């Protein structure tokens, strides 16, 4: 499945071509960030033609030229040869030929070259290729090398964890039956969507056209929308579908193929049986031009609409639920300004979203969605059941990395400004192909979240009121995901049946549509390690028996016995609450609650249970022994307290039954945008208090001995001007036009420093800012016992994690400036706030002037302590 067929080229933050967005919506991320395109100055002539093809995104031709050029390296420097090999490997990766990409990456990296700068990303690319080829232990080696050589991109940490426990995403594979459907062809077929009684889908088939349009990226065909008018044609009874991995496979009808691949026609080629060197032209690419391979649909389809399909790419679409309108992806019809300028004459267009209305038996009034741009791409639409919210994919400014998922509302025929779904969904990688089910649950594909290989399908519940994420991203696992590309899902709210797109059969360009049916549980299981100890000695019990059940379902009760070390690993049904019941002679019985609703899919959770000995007292009047037992432990309940939109998050932890505040509870409050965790232990009143960034989700966790771990998602507050005004009242920002007076202000006040602004992407203090900081020096000298926190902010453009790092450097720069003026460093603390607290409505994706962005690039100080004499 070559990268381009399913994405109509996606232009990331600079510019691009056009075919990739429909299939993959990615690529310039790799180019704009990897910087693999240019050699050293005055490169050898033998590489010049290959360079030109690579730079202008002609990867199919570049592969041919690099393969040929690397056989004739006379006169080329060692650096030029290394660059050429990296470019060759990356070209194979971008056209989705992972067998040859592995060979090429291995060739260059096995020599242990000294890589610097963006070339270090070759380790990450190779790790991704190895994962897609099923070589997970080796992939971890290269993820680790990548992690060690750079600090910003931490995706490798999570991928290493998953690669060490792949079985976690494969446990529930038996719950689904996957069927290959008869509408597939030798070309790419993907991204189905329900329409009337049938399916509309994207395909690169020529439909008997006399003119075959070829895309330069991978020499594949242009894309159009096709239509199957009746889903009944896909029923297994009439041979329209054949099962994969099920007992019905032997009786199923095999699609028409003249070349059998491996033992069955679903086995993709490997590095051991791939044609590589010696093939000519585009035949270097595995599976892209196997002239002896042909597959014809067994079920007839037709082109969807002459007015929608054009000489350009048409891609993933969405229909209003009454069938009156369609929103679809098309590459723009006018040049978007090439990324390579006039020198290379590269007119590279963007992807755009269009809307059309159905009138008089045809689609008419085709027009662009207003937030399209010649500076970035938009595509892959999906609509909520009420047609009021559209999710789509874009690389517009304000995102997190490659391509992100955004949201817009449709009110009275008008589209609102797009809003980024934030760091819970979007990563430094690429998120695309969103689908929203009738309950508002969001599915999407990503290569930035840990998965089985390249694109995997993920799921997250959404808040239907805010249209923003309200839970944790989950990989839906095998068999819906594989080590190849899996994307373009449509399904019902219970995931009982639906369709996916995947290139699992042959890899490369061979995207196909598959039907799935759920036969078992919706979720698999999640691992839990249970440890049982003596409360006094803290020693584990030797082989102790206990029982557990799904909360509220006594019929689900099961028993288990720990090892001689007092531990056992269970795999509990996902997304449930449980009760654990432990009884041991001489000890008080314990009932402990546990929830795995927010637990990791591939890391084991932990539950420690401590048993207390029975207390035996003698009743002097009755002269007999009485066993006193402690009251049964109750579930921890976190009750929120305070303003819902305040930047201070407060609450009280109580016992669930009698609402008694509980002391000694460890509370963790983790920012899902930055990963930073705040911790505190409750006092006698059971209260806790944390600082909060309103535009980030948080995970609130409570821990206490003899209680199960309590976990809660604290959803971010949708950014609005009214909200900003509210929390301004709660946290006053004080202007320091005159010298600071401690009699007027108190501990906790946030004081705004006038004119402490920064140039975009810079942390150096400007001259106008230095003059203002002199006032703060005088304030600190006048109040020698005052301790402050320097807080620096960025605007909301660019990557959120990069902005957080930039703001920290800005805060450190102010601290250093004040220290040079004689202020003791132990009286100051520098804190970078990143883009989390804009002073205006310039959030992610919002169109603002440069002056408005500059207002957000500011410095404040917060008074932490004042000791008055």
- Range list of H helices, 150-195: 155-163
Taking only the tens place, the pLDDT of each residue in 68-100 is 888 877 777 888 888 889 999 999 988 888 889
For the domain made up of 525-628, give the CATH fold. Immunoglobulin-like (2.60.40)
For the domain made up of 636-714, give the CATH fold. Immunoglobulin-like (2.60.40)
> Which pLDDT score, from 0 to 100, does residue 235 have?
75
> Which pLDDT score, from 0 to 100, does residue 719 have?
47
- Range list of H helices, 622-744: 721-730
Taking only the tens place, the pLDDT of each residue in 224-278 is 999 999 999 987 443 344 444 333 333 333 333 333 222 233 334 333 333 322 2
> Which pLDDT score, from 0 to 100, does residue 243 have?
43
* Residue 134 burial by Cβ neighbours in a 10 Å radius (0-12, 13-18, 19+): middle
Residue linked to tokens 């079920």 = 299
> Which pLDDT score, from 0 to 100, does residue 79 have?
83
Instruction: Please tell me the CATH code under which domain 175-518 is placed.
Output: 2.115.10
pLDDT at 731 over 50: no
pLDDT at 633 over 90: no
Question: Using the 8-state DSSP alphabet, how is residue 481 labeled?
Answer: S
Q: Are 698 and 649 in contact (CB under 8 A)?
A: yes
Closest by CA to 287, choosing from 312, 253, 262, 311, is: 262
Q: Average pLDDT in the 53-78 region?
A: 82
- Range list of H helices, 716-789: 721-730, 767-782
Q: Average pLDDT in the 674-678 region?
A: 81
| pLDDT-above-90 percentage for the chain | 31
The CATH architecture one would assign to domain 21-166 is Alpha Horseshoe (1.25)
Q: And the tokens for 395?
A: 């690389």
> Which pLDDT score, from 0 to 100, does residue 698 have?
85
Cα(74)–Cα(634) distance, integer angstroms: 77
What value does the mean pLDDT of the chain take?
77
| pLDDT-above-70 percentage for the chain | 73
Cα(483)–Cα(468) distance, integer angstroms: 29
DSSP state letters, 813-847: HHHHHHHHTT--GGGEEEEE-TTS--SSS--TT--
Cα(235)–Cα(233) distance, integer angstroms: 6
Distance of CA 302 to the CA centre of its chain: 35
Ranked by mean pLDDT, which of 106-115, 346-355, 799-808 comes out on top? 106-115
> Which pLDDT score, from 0 to 100, does residue 45 have?
67
> Which pLDDT score, from 0 to 100, does residue 265 have?
32
> Which pLDDT score, from 0 to 100, does residue 600 have?
85
Q: Do domains 175-518 and 525-628 have the same CATH topology?
A: no
> Which pLDDT score, from 0 to 100, does residue 480 have?
95
pLDDT at 12 over 70: no
Cα(416)–Cα(467) distance, integer angstroms: 13
pLDDT at 7 over 60: no
Ranges 272-286, 448-462, 471-485: which has the least confidence: 272-286
pLDDT band at 136 (very low <50, low <70, confident <90, very high): confident
pLDDT at 491 over 70: yes
> Which pLDDT score, from 0 to 100, does residue 442 have?
97
The CATH architecture one would assign to domain 732-865 is 2-Layer Sandwich (3.30)
Taking only the tens place, the pLDDT of each residue in 694-730 is 888 888 888 776 665 667 778 787 544 333 333 333 3
pLDDT at 634 over 60: no
pLDDT at 513 over 90: yes
> Which pLDDT score, from 0 to 100, does residue 433 have?
96
Taking only the tens place, the pLDDT of each residue in 397-438 is 989 888 999 999 999 899 999 999 999 999 988 999 999 999
Q: Which residue has the higher pLDDT, 420 or 132?
A: 420
Kindly provide the residue ranges of all beta strands, DSSP E only, lying in 587-738, ordered along the sequence. Answer: 590-595, 605-611, 615-619, 624-628, 636-641, 648-655, 666-671, 677-681, 687-691, 698-703, 710-714, 733-735
pLDDT band at 353 (very low <50, low <70, confident <90, very high): very high
Question: Domain ranges in the chain?
Answer: 21-166, 175-518, 525-628, 636-714, 732-865
Ranges 143-157, 195-209, 391-405, 615-629: which has the least confidence: 615-629
> Which pLDDT score, from 0 to 100, does residue 460 have?
94
pLDDT at 759 over 60: no
> Which pLDDT score, from 0 to 100, does residue 72 have?
77
pTM, full prediction: 0.64
pLDDT at 365 over 90: yes
Taking only the tens place, the pLDDT of each residue in 272-330 is 333 322 233 344 544 444 444 567 888 999 999 999 998 888 999 999 999 999 999 99
pLDDT at 216 over 50: no
């Amino acid at each position: 499945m070559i990268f381009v067929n399913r994405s109509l080229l996606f232009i990331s933050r600079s510019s691009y071509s056009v075919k990739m967005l429909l299939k993959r919506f990615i690529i310039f991320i790799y180019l704009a960030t990897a910087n693999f395109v240019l050699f050293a100055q005055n490169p050898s002539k033998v590489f010049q033609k290959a360079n030109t093809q690579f730079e202008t995104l002609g990867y199919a031709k570049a592969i041919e030229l690099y393969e040929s050029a690397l056989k004739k390296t006379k006169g080329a420097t060692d650096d030029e040869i290394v660059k050429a090999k990296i470019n060759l490997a990356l070209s194979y990766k971008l056209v989705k030929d992972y067998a040859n990409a592995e060979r090429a990456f291995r060739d260059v990296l096995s020599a242990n070259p000294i890589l610097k700068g963006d070339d270090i990303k070759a380790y990450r690319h190779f790790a991704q290729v190895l994962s897609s080829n099923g070589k997970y232990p080796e992939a971890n080696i290269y993820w680790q090398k990548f992690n060690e050589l750079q600090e910003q991109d931490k995706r490798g940490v999570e991928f290493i964890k998953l690669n060490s426990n792949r079985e976690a995403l494969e446990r529930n594979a038996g719950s689904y039956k996957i069927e290959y459907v008869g509408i597939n062809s030798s070309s790419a077929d993907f991204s189905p969507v329900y329409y009337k009684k049938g399916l509309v889908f994207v395909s690169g088939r020529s439909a008997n056209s006399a003119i075959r349009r070829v895309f330069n990226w991978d020499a594949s065909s242009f894309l159009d929308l096709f239509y199957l008018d009746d889903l009944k044609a896909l029923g297994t009874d009439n041979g329209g579908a054949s099962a994969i991995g099920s007992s019905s496979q032997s009786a199923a009808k095999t699609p028409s193929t003249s070349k059998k691949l491996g033992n069955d026609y679903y086995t993709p080629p490997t590095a051991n049986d791939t044609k590589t060197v010696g093939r000519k032209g585009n035949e270097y690419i595995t599976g892209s031009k196997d002239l002896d391979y042909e597959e014809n649909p067994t079920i007839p389809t037709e082109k969807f609409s002459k007015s929608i399909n054009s000489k350009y790419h048409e891609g993933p679409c969405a229909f209003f639920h009454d069938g009156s309108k369609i929103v679809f992806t098309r590459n723009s019809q006018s040049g978007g300004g090439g990324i390579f300028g006039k020198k290379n004459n590269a007119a590279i267009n963007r992807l755009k979203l269009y809307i059309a209305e159905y009138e008089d038996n045809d689609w008419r009034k085709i027009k662009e969605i207003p937030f399209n741009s010649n500076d970035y791409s938009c595509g892959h639409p999906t609509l909520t059941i009420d047609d009021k919210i559209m999710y789509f994919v874009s690389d517009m400014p304000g995102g997190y990395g490659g391509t992100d998922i955004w949201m817009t509302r449709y009110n009275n025929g008008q589209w609102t400004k797009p809003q980024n779904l934030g760091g819970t969904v979007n990563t430094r990688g690429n998120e695309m192909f969103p689908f929203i089910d009738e309950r508002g649950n969001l599915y999407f594909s990503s290569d930035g979240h840990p998965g089985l290989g390249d694109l995997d399908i993920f799921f997250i519940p959404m808040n239907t009121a805010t249209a923003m994420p309200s839970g944790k991203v989950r990989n839906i696992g095998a068999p819906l995901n594989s080590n190849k590309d899996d994307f373009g899902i449509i399904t019902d709210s219970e995931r009982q049946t639906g369709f996916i797109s995947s290139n699992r059969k042959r890899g490369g360009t061979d995207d196909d549509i598959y039907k799935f049916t759920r036969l078992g549980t919706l979720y698999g299981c999640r691992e839990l390690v249970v440890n049982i100890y003596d409360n006094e000695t803290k020693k584990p019990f030797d082989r102790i028996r206990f029982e557990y059940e799904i909360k509220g379902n006594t019929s689900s009760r099961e028993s288990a016995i720990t090892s001689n070390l007092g531990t056992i690993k269970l795999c509990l049904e996902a997304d449930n609450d449980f009760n654990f019941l432990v009884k041991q002679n001489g000890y008080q019985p314990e009932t402990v609650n546990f929830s795995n609703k927010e637990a990791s899919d591939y890391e084991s959770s932990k539950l420690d249970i401590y048993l207390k000995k029975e207390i035996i007292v003698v009743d002097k009047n009755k002269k007999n022994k009485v066993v006193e037992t402690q009251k049964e432990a109750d579930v921890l309940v976190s009750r929120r307290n305070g303003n819902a939109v305040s930047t201070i998050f407060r609450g009280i932890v109580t016992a669930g039954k009698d609402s008694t505040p509980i002391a000694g509870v460890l509370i963790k409050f983790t920012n899902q945008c930055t990963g930073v965790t705040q911790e505190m232990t409750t006092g006698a009143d059971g209260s806790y208090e944390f600082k909060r960034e309103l535009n980030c989700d948080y995970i609130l966790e409570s821990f206490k001995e003899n209680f199960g771990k309590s976990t809660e998602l604290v959803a971010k507050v949708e950014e609005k001007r009214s909200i900003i005004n509210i929390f301004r009242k709660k946290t006053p920002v004080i202007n320091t036009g005159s010298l600071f007076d401690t009699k007027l202000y108190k501990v906790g006040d946030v004081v705004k420093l006038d004119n402490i602004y920064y140039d975009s992407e810079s942390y150096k203090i400007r001259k106008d800012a230095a003059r203002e900081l002199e006032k703060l020096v005088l304030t600190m000298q006048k109040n020698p016992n005052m301790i402050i926190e320097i807080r620096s902010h960025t605007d909301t453009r660019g990557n959120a994690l990069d902005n957080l790092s930039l703001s920290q450097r800005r805060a450190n720069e102010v601290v250093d400036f004040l220290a040079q003026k004689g202020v003791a460093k132990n009286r100051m603390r520098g804190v970078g706030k990143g883009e989390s607290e804009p002073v205006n409505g310039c959030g992610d994706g919002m169109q603002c002037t440069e002056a408005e962005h500059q207002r957000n690039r500011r410095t404040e100080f917060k008074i932490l302590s004042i000791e008055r004499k």
